Structures are given as structure tokens and as C-alpha cells.
């Protein structure tokens, strides 16, 4: 048996279309409808899948902390702001890499990591 690993991440939001559009424009992820209130992105090559679920119980920052590995953190921070996101924690060095946190327009947090 292999070591358990994260295979799926899910954000709850009262505005799933807004979150889907933001993630698509920021990272190029193409979501498909799974049910009327659930969208899913299945990465190529068997990576982590991403779900967006309609939830009126969501509060900003109340869903899991999820980080996306990027190659140019400064470009993604700039792009996120241009798409209506906010920088919650600016770029901070971490060894030879860096990390930051942004908030999507619906309030959900997204971590960014650059190695």
C-alpha cells in the first residue's frame, strides 16, 4: 500500500461561478459540472482534483487552507489582484522558495508556493 496523500481539495462558496471563473483565469483550470451545485477540475496526469461546492454556510477563510505550486509567485499575485482577488499575506521567502496567500473574490483563501 502506498502512503496516503491529498488527492482532492474542495472549496465551499455561496458564489461557485465567481470562484470557478477566478480559478480558471488565474490558473487555467477548466471545471466541469458534476451536479447542479458542484463543479470539478480533474488535473491531467492524475494530480489533485479540485471541487467547488455551493454552500451558503461558507465564511471567508473557513474552508481548508490549500496551496498551489506556481513558477512565478509575483506574477500570480499581480494577476490575482487584477482579477478581483486580494493579497492576504505577501510573498515571504521560505528557503530557496517563497509563499503567499490570496483571497479569491468570494473570500476563500488560496496559498501560493514557489519552490
Q: Please write the tens of the pLDDT for every residue from 34-75.
A: 888 999 999 888 788 899 999 887 776 676 778 898 999 999
- Nearest Cα to 20, choosing from 51, 64, 55? 51
Q: Is-contact 9 50, C-beta < 8 A?
A: yes
* CA–CA separation, 66 and 14 (whole Å): 18
**pLDDT given for residue 89 in this prediction:** 93
**pLDDT given for residue 16 in this prediction:** 92
Q: Is-contact 10 53, C-beta < 8 A?
A: yes
**pLDDT given for residue 40 in this prediction:** 93
Domain ranges of the chain: 8-114
Q: Which fold has domain 8-114?
A: 2,3-Dihydroxybiphenyl 1,2-Dioxygenase; domain 1 (3.10.180)
Amino acid at each position: 500500500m502506498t502512503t496516503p496523500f491529498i488527492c482532492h481539495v474542495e472549496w465551499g462558496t455561496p458564489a461557485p461561478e465567481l470562484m470557478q471563473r477566478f480559478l480558471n483565469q488565474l490558473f487555467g483550470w477548466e471545471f466541469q459540472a458534476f451536479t447542479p451545485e458542484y463543479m470539478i477540475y480533474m488535473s491531467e496526469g492524475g494530480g489533485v482534483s479540485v471541487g467547488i461546492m455551493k454552500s451558503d454556510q461558507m465564511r471567508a477563510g473557513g474552508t481548508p487552507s490549500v496551496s498551489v505550486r506556481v513558477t512565478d509567485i509575483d506574477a500570480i499575485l499581480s494577476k490575482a489582484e487584477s482579477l478581483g482577488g486580494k493579497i492576504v499575506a505577501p510573498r515571504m521567502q521560505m528557503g530557496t522558495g517563497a509563499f503567499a496567500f490570496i483571497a479569491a473574490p468570494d473570500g476563500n483563501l488560496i496559498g501560493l508556493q514557489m519552490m
